[in-house]
Amino acid sequence: MHCHPDPSSFTAATRDRVMQALERRGDEVRLHDLYADGFDPLFTAGERERHLQPGPDPSVARYAEDLQWCRQLVLVHPTWWSGQPAMLKGWIDRVWVDGVAWHLPPGGNQLRRGLRNVRRIVTVTSHGSGRLTNAVEGQVGKQLVRRTLRSLCHPLARTKWIAFYEIDTAPDEARRAFLDRVEQAFR
């Protein structure tokens, strides 16, 4: 899953490195670029009314099918305002729904995991601020993945967070080193 509005961004270069490494490994890859797809992140009032009825809105069914298919979910995005971009958050809101990511038994009050196929979630992201600033802010985006999304996946699912801090002031050699580190993580 790729989420950045600029197709020539550093995030896009990061996505390309991830794709190359996965393809070299022989993995079957299904890429979704939310901006290029024209994904609508708006969780409508109608979707909210139907949120306890199993299944996604038909307009996002292909995203749900791929989420239910994958064993490893890779999220490539910048971190903005301590979390995922609104476009990616909208994808989570609209696709991680009852009948896809979770199930709520009739009369129940506890969700059951719906994505037992997902054994690993890897996030590759960048931050304008430093590591310490993100720690003080509570690492909101990282916690969403580690605590919330992972809780709906396989019970033994693992997460990996690969972050490039202080990207706004990073020299080219630091950017190249990060791209190499990303590629190594997927070998």
4 occurs within a structural domain:
no
71-100 per-position pLDDT tens digit = 999 999 999 999 999 999 999 999 999 999
Residue 116 is predicted with a pLDDT of 97
Q: Which residue has the tokens 């791209």?
A: 179
Residue 92 is predicted with a pLDDT of 97
The angle formed by the CA atoms of residues 89, 90 and 91, to the nearest 5 degrees, is: 90
129-159 per-position pLDDT tens digit = 888 887 888 788 999 999 999 999 999 999 9
Give the pLDDT band of residue 52 (cuts 50, 70, 90).
Answer: confident
Residue 173 is part of which domain span? Answer: 10-185
1 occurs within a structural domain:
no
30 occurs within a structural domain:
yes
5 occurs within a structural domain:
no
Kindly tell me if the per-residue pLDDT of 49 is higher than 80: yes
Q: From the DSSP assignment, how many helices (H) and strands (E) are in the chain?
A: 8, 5
46: three-class secondary structure by DSSP: helix
Percent of the chain with pLDDT over 90: 82
Q: Report the number of distinct structural domains present in the chain.
A: 1
Residue 187 is predicted with a pLDDT of 85
The rounded distance, in Å, linking the Cα atoms of 113 and 69 is 15
Stretch 86-115: mean pLDDT, rounded? 94
Residues in contact with 131: Cβ distance below 8 Å, sequence separation at least 6, in sequence order: 163, 165
Radius of gyration, alpha carbons of the chain? 17
Stretch 63-68: mean pLDDT, rounded? 98
33 occurs within a structural domain:
yes
Kindly tell me if the per-residue pLDDT of 160 is higher than 90: yes
Contact between residue 14 and residue 59 where contact means Cβ atoms under 8 Å apart: no
The rounded distance, in Å, linking the Cα atoms of 87 and 92 is 9
Residue 156 is predicted with a pLDDT of 98
64 occurs within a structural domain:
yes
Residues in contact with 171: Cβ distance below 8 Å, sequence separation at least 6, in sequence order: none
Q: What is the CATH number of the domain that holds 171?
A: 3.40.50.360
Contact between residue 78 and residue 85 where contact means Cβ atoms under 8 Å apart: yes
